[in-house]
Each structure stands twice: as structure tokens, then as C-alpha cells.
Structure 1
């Protein structure tokens, strides 16, 4: 479903707010980008439930393992499912300096809430294993994704 430029702009602003909160190490501001009942799955398999859980967990991480990191992300696709729902697929990474490649594939489910703001209702982060992907496609070419979808290696042979 095609949406208006203002809707896409508002979604991109949500991602700018998310990145800014991460870069400042502000768990509350980071959590504010999510719905009250959001789910958040990290690439290591940790699942946070709800805005407060996401905010508190990230504030702890920002004070320790993720201290001083920056969020690097690229939006590959924004697909609107209706006037108040969208799926965003992209790539990302967090590091103290820009990485050579963005090694995580990320899927966000967004909703526009009653206050008119877009927020993240669900997030899933997966570490891309490009070598395993290449081996799989070589051994089983039919497993290669169709078309030129973002992040797909190539069209079927």
C-alpha cells in the first residue's frame, strides 16, 4: 500500500529519534520510541516485553557493554500495511566507530498511535551469516530469495 510522503517522513523521523537516543545513551528516550506493549528481540535472543523493560534494559546496557556506542542503520524498505501500520526492513550495527558493513538484518513493525506518533510495536534483530548464506545458495540454489529484495544475494539462478 502506498502512503503519503508525510507518513514516510514521520517514520524516518522515528528512526532519527531512535538513533539519537542510542547515541546519547538515554534508555528512557530510546524506550519512548516503542509502544507500551512492544516486544524487542535482540540478536542474541533476549526478549524484552514492554516500553519500561526496553528502556530499563537498555539503560543498563548503555552504562556497561554498550557505553559510548553509536547506532548505524540503513532502511531498505518501508511497507505500509494501512494508514496506521508499517513494516520496516533494514540493516544495522552498533559500534564505537562506523563498521565496514552493517551485519544485522532488522525487522520493525510500526504503528501510528492515538497521539499521531509512529512507534515500534515489535523489533527483531538477526546477525547475518553471509558465508552460510552463500554456501546454502550454492548447495541449494532454489533456496535463494526471489527478486532483488533488500539484502537478498541475487535472483535465482
Structure 2
């Protein structure tokens, strides 16, 4: 999806109204700063990192971004398979998930049970897709991820304006492994 497509469909205006990330269809730039420097914004397919101060090497930064991409891929795969247990496994034991409808799922077990209920009923046969994703590292072991995306229903190939949502994920690195600890999802509804 390019910027011309966004203008033609009005999706670009919708995204601008709610102040979302304006970068879609990102290219790899590989920018990362060395230890204790302010990192410039970096871009990888589907992930943009906002500049922040971190104490890590460029290689460590790239590894963290790769691990967060893998976490997103695991989330999308578990969703597509309708597997609540696998979906919950990428969360900390004490995680919180707030769905677009305001349902608050607490703890990994609660997330597994709640998401399985959704997968077996309302979301059966659906897939997740990410349109934009911005990653910021306030600390080396903490990532704040803001995504725009949607649920694709059987037969859908792209997001519609009505299906767009924006979510905020907080990921923590525990014992060298990234996991989500908090997730809040909200449908995109511009003000009149």
C-alpha cells in the first residue's frame, strides 16, 4: 500500500486525523546508534523506531527489533490458528489485554481463556494484519509499540477504514526474552 493509494481511498486522511504513524510500506534503513547515544528513528519492514536514549549497541538494537518482529509474527500466527493458549504464551504471567470492546483480560491464563472464547465465536476464521508499527525503547528492556492494523475476515485481503484499530503494546525483556505485558486496543473512529 503506497501513499497514493492512501490518498485515493481516504485512508491516509483517516490516519492523519487520529495522529497515527504516517509511514506505510516502510523500507529497511538499518539506522541504530551505539552505546548510550540517542538513537535516530529507524525503519524496518513494518516497524519504525522513534528516537530515544538507550544504552545498547547497534547489534543489540537490531536483535531487539528482530525479536519484537518475531513476537508480532507469533501473535498473528496464533490468531490465524485460533489458538488462545499460543496467543497468551507471548505475554507475561501478569499481563493485561484490553480488547477493542473494552473487555479486560488479566493474567496469561485469563488471556488464553478470553481469547479462545473470541476465537471460537466472534473471531472465528479471522487473521490479524499490521498496517503501521512504531517502536520506542524508553529503556533497553522496555519497548512501547504503537500499531495500526485490523482483523481480516475470511475473503478480506486488505483493511477497510471501518475495521482499523490502533493498539499500544508494552513489551518487556525478561531473562533475555521479549514478552508483551500490556495491550490496549481501540477502534479508529475520527471525530466528526
> Is the structural similarity TM-score above 0.5?
yes
Alignment check: 8 A CA contact 1:75 1:88 kept? no
Q: Equivalents in 2 of 1:50, 1:9: separation in Å?
A: 25
Alignment counterpart, residue 182 of structure 2, candidates 122, 138, 149? 122
Match of 2:110 in 1: 53
Deviation at 1:19, TM superposition (A): 0.4
Q: Equivalents in 2 of 1:94, 1:100: separation in Å?
A: 9
Q: Equivalents in 2 of 1:63, 1:90: separation in Å?
A: 25
Match of 1:83 in 2: 140
Alignment counterpart, residue 167 of structure 2, candidates 86, 89, 106? 106
2:109 is equivalent to residue 68 of structure 1: no
Question: CA RMSD of the aligned region, Å?
Answer: 1.4
Alignment check: 8 A CA contact 1:39 1:121 kept? yes
What SS class does the counterpart of residue 78 from structure 1 fall into?
Answer: strand
Q: Equivalents in 2 of 1:74, 1:14: separation in Å?
A: 16
TM-score by length of 2: 0.64
What SS class does the counterpart of residue 12 from structure 1 fall into?
Answer: helix
Q: Equivalents in 1 of 2:177, 2:75: separation in Å?
A: 13
Length, aligned pairs only: 131
Where structure 2 has 5 or more consecutive residues not aligned to the other structure, the ranges are 1-52
Match of 2:70 in 1: 13
State the 4+ residue runs in structure 1 displaced beyond 6 angstroms. Answer: none
